[in-house]
Amino acid sequence: MANTTFNGPVRSQNGFQSITISPTTGAVTVDATFGTATSVTTLAATTVTATNLVYTDQNHPTTAAINATATATAAQVATGYITTTSATAVTITLPTGTDLGTAISATKGTVLDLYIDNTASTSSGVVTIAVATNGILSAAAAAGSGAGAGLLTVPIGVTGIGCFRIMFSSATAYVFSRIA
C-alpha cells in the first residue's frame, strides 16, 4: 500500500503495527505495536523528530522513590512518577533544564508530566517541589496561588497525589506548573 494521509482520527478495534520490510529478503519486522495497553518504553534520540512530543505514559512501568530532601536526578524525573514515604517534610528540587533536557532529548515544545505520589507519607511528610537552574515557575506558580497551578506542595494521605507539567521552551530550559 502506498503512503496514506488521514485528516482526522484513525481508529482500529485491533490496534496498529509499525513495520519495516527488508529490501533484500522481504522479511517483515514489527517495529512497534499500538493497542489498548500501549506503553512506550524506549525512544531513541535519533528517531525522535517531533517538536511537540508529549511523554505521558499513564502506566508508569518505572517509578522513582525520594524519601528525604534531595535534588531529583534527571532519570528519576524522566520516569514521570516519584513516590515519597516520609514522616517529615521533604523538598524535591528538580534537575537543571540542561540535565533533564539531555535525559529525554528535549526540544522546544517537549512536555513531560510528572506525578508526585505522597499517599504513603505520615505525620508532617508534606512534599514541596522546587526548580533548579533553567527551570522556571509558570506565571501562576510564581504568583503563589493557594490552589491550582501555584500549589507546589503535595499533602499526605489519600489526597497526596499531584500532577505537574514540565514544558520545554528550548532543549535546556523548562517552565514548571501544577496541572492537578
- pLDDT tens digits along 23-56: 888 888 877 666 655 544 444 444 444 444 444 4
- Comparing 20 with 58, the larger pLDDT belongs to 20
Range of the domain at 108: 54-178
Asked, for residue 42, whether it belongs to a domain, the answer is no
State the cell numbers at 51: 517538536
Asked, for residue 5, whether it belongs to a domain, the answer is no
Asked, for residue 91, whether it belongs to a domain, the answer is yes
pLDDT (0 to 100) of residue 123:
82
- Comparing 164 with 28, the larger pLDDT belongs to 164
pLDDT (0 to 100) of residue 180:
84
pLDDT (0 to 100) of residue 50:
44
Q: How many whole angstroms separate alpha carbon 20 and alpha carbon 51?
A: 24
Asked, for residue 72, whether it belongs to a domain, the answer is yes
Predicted TM-score (pTM) of the model is 0.67
- pLDDT above 70: residue 8: no
> Into how many domains does the chain fold?
1
Asked, for residue 65, whether it belongs to a domain, the answer is yes
Asked, for residue 108, whether it belongs to a domain, the answer is yes
CA 103-109-113 angle, 5° bins: 60
Asked, for residue 40, whether it belongs to a domain, the answer is no
Asked, for residue 79, whether it belongs to a domain, the answer is yes
- In this predicted model, what pLDDT tens digit does every residue of 103-133 receive, in sequence order? 999 999 999 999 999 999 988 889 999 999 8
Return left, alpha or beta for 144; rule: phi > 0 is left, psi -120 to 50 is alpha, else beta: left
